[in-house]
Amino acid sequence: MPKSQYVDPGKAFDAGFIHFEDIPVCQYNKTLTEEKKIYTKDDFLRIYRDMAIIREFETMLNDVKTKSAYNGVEYNNPGPAHLSIGQEASAVGEAYCLDINDFSFGSHRSHGEILAKGLSSIHKLTDEEVYDVMKEFLGGAVLSVVEKHMNAGGNVKELAINFLLYGALAEIFARKTGFNRGLGGSMHAFFIPFGLMPNNAIVGASAPIALGAALYKRSNNKPGIIISNCGDGATGRGPVLESFNFASMDQITKLWGMDGKYSDGGLPILFNVFNNHYGMGGQTRGETMGFDMVARLGAGFNPEQMHAERVNGYDPLAVIDAVSRKKELLLAGKGPALLDVVTYRVSGHSPSDSSTYRTAEEIEAWKAADPILAFKNKLVKGKIATENEIAKMHEDITARMTEVMKLAINDDISPRMDLNKEPDAISSIMFSNQKVVSMEPERKAEMLMPKEECPRVKEIKGKIRTATDKDGKPVSKMKMYNVTDALFEPIIDKFYDDPTLIAYGEDNRDWGGAFGVYKKMTEAVPYHRFFNSPISESAIVGSAVGYAMCGGRAIVELMYADFIGCAGDEIFNQMAKWQAMSAGILKMPITLRVSVGSKYGAQHSQDWTALCAHIPGLKVVFPATPTDAKGLMTSALDGTDPVVFFESQRIYGFGEQFNKDGVPEGHFEIPFGEPDIKKEGKDVTILTIGAVLYRALEAAKILEEKYGVSAEIIDARSIVPFNYEKVIESVKKTGKIILVGDACERNSVMRDMASNITEMCFDYLDGPAVVVGSRNWITPAFELEKSFFPQADWIIDALHEKIMPLPGHVPTNNFTDIEKVERAKLGL
Amino acid sequence: MATLVIMPRQGQSVESCIITAFNKKVGDTVEAGEILFSYETDKSSFDEPAPAAGKILAIFREEGDDVPCLENVLVIGNDGEDISEFVPKTEAEAAPAVTEAAPEAPKAEAVPAVEAVATASVSGEFAISPRARLLAEKTHADLLKAVPTGPNGRIIERDVQKLVDMGLTVSPAAKDGYSSAVEGSGISGKVVLADLNAPKAEEAAAVTAAPAAEYEDVKLPNIRKIIAKSMHASLSTMAQLTLNTSFDATKLLALRASLKAGAEKMGIGNITLNDMVLFAVSRVLLNHKDLNAHYLDDTMRYFSNVNLGVAVDTPRGLMVPTLFAANKMTLNEISKSAKVVINAAQEGTINPDLLKGGSFTVTNLGSLGIESFTPVINPPQTGILGVDTITKRIKEVNGEDVTYPAMGLSLTFDHRALDGAPAAKFLKELVFALENFDLLLTK
């Protein structure tokens, strides 16, 4: 919706046709003679070796899974093993073209890609570089094993191959000496120093993450391209298609860039589909999809058709040919690109796959076309290598693999994490808990004007930072510093302080965010750091995850908290988990802003704090005052952990009512986890979550004036983490607690806290910890909301009915146990 | 309609009265105003007139019963009337006095309701918030008197606070189910329901130490425990008060000087002033039997001899050996016997039998310069005489102020056993005896 682009009704209805270019299908046809001009004998043999190593690695795992032994060494591996026997040429061909600045993301079936890109990186780096990488990694924990227990004949590259195979296998076997301390496992193994980014057990989940990595390269002008690997089955997933679109959006080439000062061009991302014909057992071509060929999808996303192409994934040279051409395009700013790499998974989906969905004949036919066998024949026939050379190579690989396996299953050399001896081993990596002002302090932030000239900054300067003036009169709306200003201040500061910060979401830029938090920010922040995203919640959050994995910081926004569901996997499985799954190697500085609505009915009014708080690895906050909004946003943006930042549409326009000195100017932090006593009292504690604070204050006033009951009001502010000490102290004093929030009462955060408080304060309680939440209904229309969201009189009624009857009080809401039982019976 | 007669409450502090006599028996016909029974409090006695005319249908008590105020005593009515609702709870099982007058009374039905309340209270099954329970334990509030105002009849903090404000507390010793003596068996000593039914711990062993304080914990020797127990029991169960007086010791001192001078010649030992007081007491006490006695709940045991306890300060603590039948001993015998038992007590070789059986005790702090004190009775004795030091006092003789040596006497007696005047009379006689010791000796 930029004003610079005119939507012309005179042209919108013009007649014509959409033209498509031909999409190449397996057009590679170079002869060996031609190829010999490109590759040396070493190159040919290395390509072969790498494929053979992958095949042996996967064969070993298959043997372990199906026979509990490999090459006479017994072992039982209860964990997963999604093998890629048959897909080696595709992986090696792709990796051949990549260096360590090219980041690749993969799937649950990515052992082959890890080994291929690892081997390619080892080849491309110097001995010193490789050795340094190994020495630095996890304090040399992986290196010391292979250095001590395997003989590499003094050859650093051979040592590095041992390192790669051992690190990956130890990870698959959940050993502490694995690449991710055994916390990632088979489906998530990765090794960042080689540009091997996390692989993902959720089908297609790597696509938005890879998209974010591409954003990082593009917005921060970093070298290299991004490879987003997935299978053909994943193309049925929304996040993958969202990512295709997000990467293709017009603004990147048409609006991004600053007077030629920064590199223009599309996102440097190659969506590489290893098309093995099956999504588990579902046959994409002919059964579950309608595209006939994956490459056709490219035509749907941009006029360049994503430079889509279908290639023969059984021929490593054809793959190298295609990937190297795509890489060239991407580096020239013409991304994104799409490759449909045709291959076949001879192994089952997993070793328990009995192939009920395909015939033995089909498998045999593909085995006969084995890419490794075919390539060997090509080398022998082309007199590049002899049968003996190849046989010797296989012998060496088997011997090496056996040795690696013996090391990886040795409990003394490769122990598992001992959570009895180190009970905090996982606790200590759930959050990184760092304070990092700038993710790239040495670089200056790209901005369009000095901060003091930013129109919003100027506007806020003239505002009054309290809700009432010196005489106690309410400040006019126009002059009052409100919650949106409080959110804006730390965000604009961070844009100037941290060059990697980017902010995006739906309607973030020109609109200023649906609720005006980013109002008048457009003038100061360039497009590539602050933009409107497509309505693609999965891609919004998923890309932020990828952006953070690469070392950037992102604020993304989902507008309504109700849209959390649209980005469920990205929030709950990606954003929340990667710090710990990487054994603390990755940081995840993401602030995900979500806003709790009202007035807009059932799908725009929900407080979903409980969903987020339930998932380990997320920090969750919900400020209710301008001071808290500013302080918590500052902490969120300074931190290195993923934060779901809840806001409430009821109170964006509220001024500061509690802090007499007004919202502090400049850098101002409120540490996460500390609830705040908003009003002191002695008879009953009211713990509030979010905007319900103001209704609790109303209740407190009535309690005080009408019943002589003095209520202490504590605003939770943070949900995860949460320090109970202040609440416990208060309950020791009052003996009574009511927890209030706008979330539906069942399984709400209030319920969880009430249960914890009961456990910890049992002897001090004069009645049960009572929860007052919204009804377990849909949110009705605005006019009926008072029957749905907790109101002041609900709090008083709950106190009267469940804790301390108030003389003369006649409740109007039913908080009796009988009613509760009846409602529960009905699922209400 | 049958008329119930209850034990009236005679004054706010009266908890129960003793029925001294029934004037009527079951089956008797009475007129309104006729005396039904007599009863007494600790201070006075009363007659209870019949509130209505009719036949005595049932009597729930016996003569001598100590009946809590407001509880049912008897029922007046017409033959065949249902009196089951009046049967007091303690009578429920046995119902001894209910006779043929109400043979078909369905007492059993009344019983469960009454018992249910009682059991619920004792076993802790009443609803009470943890906070209210904690407050009750701290303040010894009498939860049985609490009026629950919480939801579903739950006793909450404010209900307990009200008890405390009204002074409705129970002594720790008297507490039952919910008493603070209940040791919590839950985590961090949390009192769980099961604890309420568990036997009470003998002593709370845990000493919560103030972290910074410097002190030394020394286990009490047994004798100290016994003294503590006995002294505490003495003060907490008896109605003790002390009378102080003094006497002119001029003659006594002169006599003692001459006894001392002639001791060797006469073959008598060193007669001390204390010996002389013991002698005087042994002679005077028999005229005041209430002080030469044991108070045993509802019985007085009067001794025919004076078994004189002599309080002795020993390295192990206070001991009171007894001079049995001191009234039959001469001054010299008392003096010698006293020396023997005092030495034995101090050396710890005393025959334990000699530490029992006293009927009255003399204790002497005079040698330590004490002018007056409050001796504590050695129960179940009814009195103890404290011997004080000698001070110079002035008295008028023939219009002139003259000084004289005055020796103090402090008598503590149990007001349950005797009143002030008889005790004072004893002191008066003792003073006369001591001031005229020569007459006493010749008697």
Mean of the per-residue pLDDT values of chain A: 95
Please say whether the beta carbons of A523 and A454 come within 8 A: yes
Residue of B nearest to A767 (CA): B129
Which residues, 6+ apart, have CB-to-CB distance to A655 below 8 Å? A464, A465, A466, A467, A468, A475, A480, A481, A482, A626
CB contact under 8 A, B129 and A765: yes
Reported as a single tens digit per residue, the pLDDT across A706-729 is: 999 999 999 999 999 999 999 999
**Of A111, A349, A604, A800, which one is the catalytic site residue?**
A604
Those residues with Cβ within 8 angstroms of residue A543's Cβ, 6 or more apart along the chain or in another chain:
A208, A209, A211, A212, A215, A243, A246, A554, A556
Same domain, B422 and B385: yes
* Rounded Cα distance, A801 and A795, in Å: 10
- Predicted local distance difference test score (pLDDT) of residue A446: 94
DSSP letters spanning B96-114: TT--TTSTT--HHHHHHHH
First-residue to last-residue Cα distance in chain B: 71
A762:B134 CB<8 A = no
The answer on pLDDT for A362 being more than 50 is yes
B138 touches chain A (CB under 8 A): no
Contact A767 B151 (CB under 8 A): yes
Q: Are residues B106 and B188 in the same domain?
A: no
Residue of A nearest to B184 (CA): A763
Query: What are the residues whose beta carbons fall under 8 Å from the beta carbon of B242, sequence distance 6 or more?
Result: B373, B374, B375, B386, B410, B411, B412, B413
Across B126-136, average pLDDT: 91
Q: Looking at beta carbons, which residues of chain A come within 8 Å of B134?
A: 763-764
In angstroms, the separation between the Cα of residue B154 and the nearest Cα of chain A is 9
In a domain, B206, yes or no: no
SS3 state of residue B305: coil
Averaged pLDDT, A116-125: 97
Model confidence at A52, in pLDDT bands (50, 70, 90)?
very high
The CATH number assigned to the domain holding B366 equals 3.30.559.10
For A763-774, what is each residue's pLDDT tens digit? 999 999 999 999
Residue from B67, B62, B56, B50 nearest B21 by CA: B62
Residues B254 and B111 in one domain: no
Sign of the C-alpha dihedral, residues A488, A490, A495, A500? negative
List CB contacts (< 8 A) between B157 and chain A: 735, 766
What does the angle CA A313 – CA A319 – CA A321 come to, to the nearest 5 degrees?
A: 150
DSSP label at residue A384: S
Answer whether A764 touches B (CB < 8 Å). yes
CA separation, residue A535 to residues A215, A229, A242, A539, B327 (Å): 17, 23, 9, 9, 115
User: pLDDT tens, A468-487?
Assistant: 988 889 999 999 999 999 99
In 3D, which of A217, A675, A164 has the Cα closest to residue A400? A164
Contact A804 B158 (CB under 8 A): yes
B186 at interface of A, judged by CB pairs closer than 8 A: no
Which of A759, A763, A797 to mutate: most B Cβ within 10 Å?
A763
CA gap A271, A99 in Å, rounded:
17
Residues in contact with B232: Cβ distance below 8 Å, sequence separation at least 6, in sequence order: none
d(CA A577, CA A579): 6
Do residues B180 and B150 share a domain? yes
Q: Name which of A274-283, B61-70, B399-408 the model is least confident about.
A: B61-70
The count of structural domains within chain B is 3
| Band of pLDDT at residue A270, cut at 50, 70 and 90 | very high
Count CB neighbours of B227 within 10 A. 17
SS3 content of chain B, % helix, strand, coil (to 5): 35, 25, 40
Q: Are residues B281 and B397 in the same domain?
A: yes
Residue B182 counted as domain residue: yes
B157/B258: higher pLDDT:
B157
**Span A236-247, average pLDDT:** 98
pLDDT score of B105? 42
- Closest partner residue to A802 among B149, B151, B157, by Cβ? B151
The SS3 of residue B363 is: strand
B169 and B38 co-located in one domain: no
Instruction: Provide the percentage of residues in chain A whose pLDDT is more than 70.
Output: 99
Q: Are B51 and B34 in contact (CB under 8 A)?
A: no
Same domain, residue pair B181 and B129: yes
Residue A342 β-bridge partners: A275, A312
A715 interfaces chain B, CB cutoff of 8 Å: no
B412-421 pLDDT, tens digit per residue, is: 999 989 999 9
**CA dist., res. B133 & res. A766, Å (int):** 9
A735 → chain B, closest CA residue: B131
User: Does residue B94 sit within a domain?
Assistant: yes
Q: What does the pLDDT look like over A287-299, one tens digit per residue?
A: 999 999 999 999 9
Q: Helix, strand, coil: what percent of chain A each, to 5?
A: 45, 15, 45
Rounded distance between C-alpha atoms, residue B145 and residue B148, angstroms: 9
The residue from B42, B47, B82, B415 that is catalytic is B415
In the predicted model, is pLDDT for residue B186 greater than 50? no
Band of pLDDT at residue B142, cut at 50, 70 and 90: confident
Residue the block writes with tokens 């725009």: A604
Opening angle at CA B315, ends B313 and B317, nearest 5: 55
Residues B109 and B228 in one domain: no
Q: What is the mean pLDDT of residues A146-160?
A: 95
Q: Is B132 an 8 Å CB contact of chain A?
A: yes
Angstroms from A348 CA to nearest CA on chain B: 54
Which of B117, B135, B163 is the C-terminal boundary of a domain?
B117
Residues of B in contact with A801 (CB under 8 A): 151
Is residue B376 located within the same domain as residue B249?
A: yes
Q: Which amino acid, A265? A: G
Hey, is B361 helix, strand or coil?
strand
- CATH number of domain containing B47: 2.40.50.100
Share of chain A above pLDDT 90, in %: 94
Shortest CB distance from B130 goes to which of A765, A802, A803?
A765
Report the residue from A765, A801, A802 with minimal CB separation from B131: A765
In this predicted structure, which of A193-202, A256-265, A338-347 has the lowest mean pLDDT? A256-265
User: Which of the residue ranges A349-358, A443-452, B324-333 would you say has the lowest mean pLDDT?
Assistant: A349-358
Q: State phi, psi for A558 to the nearest 5 degrees.
A: -110, 15
> Looking at the complex, does the CB of residue B89 fall below 8 Å from at least one CB of chain A?
no
Task: Choose the closest CB to A767 out of B134, B150, B190.
Answer: B150
pLDDT recorded at residue A206: 97
User: Is the residue at B389 inside a domain?
Assistant: yes
Burial of residue A463 (CB within 10 Å: 0-12, 13-18, 19+) is middle
Instruction: State whether residue B408 is helix, strand or coil.
Output: strand
pLDDT of residue B125: 58
> Which amino acid is residue B122, in one-letter code?
V
H or E stretch at A119: helix A111-124
A579: exposed, middle or buried (C-beta count within 10 Å: 0-12, 13-18, 19+)?
A: buried
Q: How confident is the model at residue B109 (pLDDT cuts 50, 70, 90)?
A: very low
**A138 contact partners, CB below 8 Å, separation of at least 6:** A181, A583
Going by the DSSP 8-state scheme, the letter that residue B147 receives in this structure is: -
Among A169, A162, A157, CA closest to A64: A169
Q: Are strands A711-715 and A684-689 parallel, antiparallel or unpaired?
A: parallel
**Between A767, A801, A817, which is nearest B129 by CB?**
A767
Let me know if residue B192 belongs to a domain: yes
**How far is it, in rounded angstroms, from Cα A506 to Cα A156?**
50
pLDDT at A771: 98
**Interchain CB distance below 8 Å, A767 and B190:** no
Q: What is the DSSP letter of B51?
A: S
Q: Can you tell me the distance from the alpha carbon of A713 to that of A121, in angstroms, rounded to the nearest whole number? A: 59
The rounded distance, in Å, linking the Cα atoms of A755 and A769 is 8
> Which domain covers residue B188, as residue numbers?
124-197
Which domain-ending residue is among B93, B117, B141? B117
Instruction: Indicate if B317 and B339 belong to the same structural domain.
Output: yes
3-state secondary structure of A309: strand
At B212, is the pLDDT very low, low, confident or very high (cuts 50, 70, 90)?
A: low
Asked if pLDDT for residue A187 goes beyond 50, the answer is: yes
User: What tokens were used for B118?
Assistant: 């009682």
* CB within 8 Å of A456: residues ≥ 6 apart: A488, A492, A519, A520, A521, A524
Tell me, yes or no, if B229 comes closer than 8 A to chain A by beta carbon: no
Cβ–Cβ under 8 Å, residues A782 and A683 = no
A700 exposed, middle or buried (CB, 10 Å; 0-12, 13-18, 19+)? buried
Structure tokens that stand for A126 in this block: 């110097």
Residue where one domain finishes, among candidates B117, B138, B166: B117
Compute the nearest-CA separation of B135 from chain A (Å).
9
A392-428 burial code (b ≥16 CB/10 A, e <16) = ebbeebbebbbbbbbbbbeeebbeebeeeeeeeebee
Contacts (Cβ under 8 Å, ≥6 apart) of A446: A258, A261, A262, A499, A526, A528, A529
Please report the pLDDT score of residue B11 as a whole number: 65
Beta strands A711-715; A770-774: pairing state: unpaired
Domains in chain A (CATH in brackets) are 32-69+83-413 (3.40.50.970), 451-648 (3.40.50.970), 676-825 (3.40.50.920)
- Interchain proximity B132–A764, CB inside 8 Å: no
Residues of A in contact with B151 (CB under 8 A): 767, 801-803, 805
Mean pLDDT score, B266-279: 87
DSSP calls for B214-267: -----PPPHHHHHHHHHHHHHHHHS-EEEEEEEEE-HHHHHHHHHHHHTHHHHT
pLDDT for position A175: 95
What integer is the mean pLDDT of A431-444?
A: 97
* C-beta contacts of A578-581 below 8 A and 24+ residues apart: A578/A198, A578/A545, A578/A549, A579/A429, A579/A430, A579/A431, A579/A432, A579/A617, A579/A641, A579/A642, A580/A183, A580/A426, A580/A429, A580/A430, A580/A616, A580/A617, A581/A180, A581/A183, A581/A184, A581/A188, A581/A198
pLDDT band at A535 (very low <50, low <70, confident <90, very high): very high
Asked, for residue B215, whether it belongs to a domain, the answer is no
Q: How confident is the model at residue B90 (pLDDT cuts 50, 70, 90)?
A: low
Q: What is the pLDDT of residues A639-660, one digit of tens each?
A: 999 999 999 999 999 999 999 9
Q: Which of A763, A764, A767 sits opposite B156 (nearest CB)?
A: A767
pLDDT given at position A163: 97
In whole angstroms, give the CA distance from residue A740 to residue A747. Answer: 13
Q: Which residues of B touch A762 (CB under 8 A)?
A: 130, 190
Q: What is the pTM of this model?
A: 0.72
Element (H, E) at A248: helix A238-248
Report helix, strand or coil for B383.
Answer: strand
Kindly state whether residue B212 falls inside one of the protein's structural domains.
Answer: no
- Chain B: give the shortest CA distance to residue A762, in Å: 7
What's the CA gap between A746 and A744, in Å, rounded?
Answer: 6
- The 10s digit of each residue's pLDDT in A813-826 is 999 999 999 999 99
Would you state the pLDDT for residue B207?
Answer: 40
What is the average per-residue pLDDT within B44-65? 86
Q: Which two tokens stand for residue A224?
A: 């290299």
DSSP helix/strand/coil, B47? strand
Q: For position A212, what pLDDT does the model report?
A: 98
Contact criterion met (CB < 8 Å) for B131 and A803: no
pLDDT(B362) > 60:
yes
Q: Which residue from B132, B151, B157 is facing A805, i.e. has the nearest CB?
A: B151
- Return d(Cα B13, Cα B167) in angstroms, integer: 13
- B419 catalytic per annotation: yes
| B233 shares a domain with B131 | no
B134 touches chain A (CB under 8 A): yes
| Residue A129 near residue A100, CB atoms below 8 Å | no
* Average pLDDT rounded to a whole number, residues B46-71: 87
Residue B370 belongs to some domain of the structure? yes
Between chains, do A735 and B129 touch, taking CB under 8 Å as contact? yes
Residue B344 and residue B290 share a domain: yes
Known active-site residue A809:
no
Average pLDDT across chain B, whole number: 79
pLDDT at B344: 86
